[in-house]
Structure 1
């Protein structure tokens, strides 16, 4: 039977591999979003450190998936959609992972004692954003359910706008209330990394929209 299976594999359309790789990336990002929320919700420094290490491992896993997508791009003549769209989608999703990791790492190395509401809200918006990406991406396989994709993209857009508002307010409060310059710089960097993660979710959603416009 094994021989037959490998023959079937041989004749499987090579472009199918992109769908599963993107779905792996999406599932991995969902995991990262979930762990980030757990990280900002806990006061226990050891638990926090464990969550940071877990996010780091997931980020490495994401790098592997992204690398495999690029390798497949180099080897496959046939791709399910434009090569540059595949490249751009892989890059923007990888950026989401990088900035989730960057936020977690900064919370850890800057030894943030009290995690405030703004950080928690931004983490929650990132978490919602990656969940929406994970809803849209599997639909690219057959594009029969466009509504799911467009709804997810619209939702990501509004999450990003919400994140912008929280970020602006958090920065304003920071400059008003924080007299310690070092603390101010630390918190500003954490806010920025979190906010950029939501931007990158929106960039990913924009690529997905570009793809469905071309192929709908």
Structure 2
């Protein structure tokens, strides 16, 4: 009995850094997988393909939710964490947010009765893919502070990609309000642009969290 209690106690106080980083890596990989599917979805105007891609994104989002729950549950089970608990929570939630927004985009498009996207939305999906890939590269290096310089450089690059997204979104919104006269279409398209922006902004949120984590550990 005493041995069992001791084992559980040691399990709680022993660092489980590897497990956190493994889960972060899995979440980041989900973001890349979902962004690839979203990029393919926006590039075609095929309702059947839209439904196929949407189902795949929903599947990835459900998988990501499980990883996020596991991270948050681990915070309640362990005393020692690889870095600040608040930052672990923020990083997990920001990674999950990206994928949630990726699911929200086709979900909203379906509600609005559209399966095609503007050229600017296609460009935003590609920017989101680039940002997600850079996020994954950055998260994958987080376990080893020997990578600190490269991590910080990646964070700056993610911020730059986010700036590109802002530029494309403004161009898309300008064209929308110049060429579109139907109020409902304006509102619906604006909502989709907002979701793309939120997804890309979440990548920058991740970069901000990681930037702070690295500066505290070097």
> TM-score, normalising length from structure 1?
0.91
| Partner Cα separation in structure 2 for residue 120 and residue 42 of structure 1 | 9
CA contact (8 A) 1:93 1:200 kept: yes
Q: Name which of 103, 106, 113 aligns with 2:105.
A: 103
| Partner Cα separation in structure 1 for residue 121 and residue 198 of structure 2 | 13
Q: Residue 19 of structure 2 corresponds to which residue in structure 1?
A: 17
Alignment of 1:120-159 (within 5 A): 120-159=122-161
Q: How many pairs align?
A: 208
Q: Residue 190 of structure 2 corresponds to which residue in structure 1?
A: 188
Q: Residue 199 of structure 2 corresponds to which residue in structure 1?
A: 197
CA contact (8 A) 2:24 2:139 kept: yes
Larger mean Cα displacement after TM superposition, 141-150 or 78-87: 141-150
| Partner Cα separation in structure 2 for residue 178 and residue 103 of structure 1 | 20
Unaligned runs of 5+ in 2: 1-6
Unaligned runs of 5+ in 1: 1-6
Q: Residue 4 of structure 1 corresponds to which residue in structure 2?
A: none
| Partner Cα separation in structure 2 for residue 113 and residue 131 of structure 1 | 25
CA contact (8 A) 2:14 2:80 kept: no
User: What displacement does 1:13 show?
Assistant: 4.0
CA contact (8 A) 1:135 1:148 kept: no
Larger mean Cα displacement after TM superposition, 206-215 or 177-186: 177-186
Q: Residue 84 of structure 1 corresponds to which residue in structure 2?
A: 86
Instruction: Note the aligned Cα RMSD (angstroms).
Output: 1.6
> TM-score, normalising length from structure 2?
0.91
User: What displacement does 1:185 show?
Assistant: 0.9
